[in-house]
Amino acid sequence: MKNATPTESGILAFHKRCEEFYPADAVDAPIGQQRRWYDALCAEFDAPSPVGLVRQDELVDARISVRRYRPAQIATQTRIFYIHGGGFVVGSLDSHDAICAELAHAAKAELVSIDYRLAPEHIWPAAFDDCFDVLTWLLAEDRPLVVAGDSAGGNLTAGIVLKAKARNLSGIVGQVLVYPGLGGDLVSGSYREMADAPGLTTADVGYYRAVLRAPEDDVFAHPLKAGDLTGLPPAYITAAHFDPLRDDARIYAARLIMACVDVTFRDEPQMIHAWLRARHMSEGARRGFDHLCRGVGSLVGTL
């Protein structure tokens, strides 16, 4: 088995700092404690807001909280719909606030993020349904949309894009998957090679799946099981090399390409899961975030 530890000093320092707030065995703690740890971790990696960016919190269908980001310069009518990660268990509008703000600023596009329901209080398909409801709300405004998400949010992104295709919904012009979990087998490839990787282990992935309780045969919950990927929107997909989820991203990208979908794929060579949060302390994460911003900018039409 290959070494499952990166060597870049910045990402190693990031991981050490993370474990000071969110221990490696966090999934063994009660859900409430996991969320308190995660909120503290996210606050530790907060960053200044881009100059001139305006936030506005809203409710969709009187029940789903969303946050709209309008950067000082908007160069496109296309919007970004961002779905946060957190294993379907943790995360909120605040946990990914700085990431969303910087992404909207860099892409020169309005961005809307969502505070979907979390497990175990709300098992599958609650989070998925919330995200799809906001998707249809945004598409009803008849403006092009790029759907993006990281980790569990990448899973939800791929799933709602598949459902939109099945429902013949138009208006999605791109999908962005950042180290997504897409339903791999947990026993081969990167799940085996990176089983004990820093930041996320294969056992952790199994835990989050068990908490979510999504049916094994549901292709919207496990997009790798989808039979037909033709006609899906162009994709930007980025993986962390030292991550059990790496091959989910790689295999899905390859299958999209085989289905004649335009795909940009990156395997960030020194990165671990959740490297977006390391963008201000790791050179590799900074480069990865720059590529992500350019990829999103290309899909929204500002680059």
Residues designated catalytic: 151, 243, 273
CA 200 to chain CA centroid, nearest Å: 14
The DSSP annotation for 280-298 comes to: TT-HHHHHHHHHHHHHHHH
With a CB cutoff of 8 Å and minimum separation 6, the contacts of 219 are: 162, 225, 226, 227
With a CB cutoff of 8 Å and minimum separation 6, the contacts of 82 are: 96, 100, 103, 111, 112, 113, 114, 148, 149, 153
Amino acid at 114: I
- β-bridge pairing 145-150 and 79-83: parallel
CB 157 within 8 A of CB 148: yes
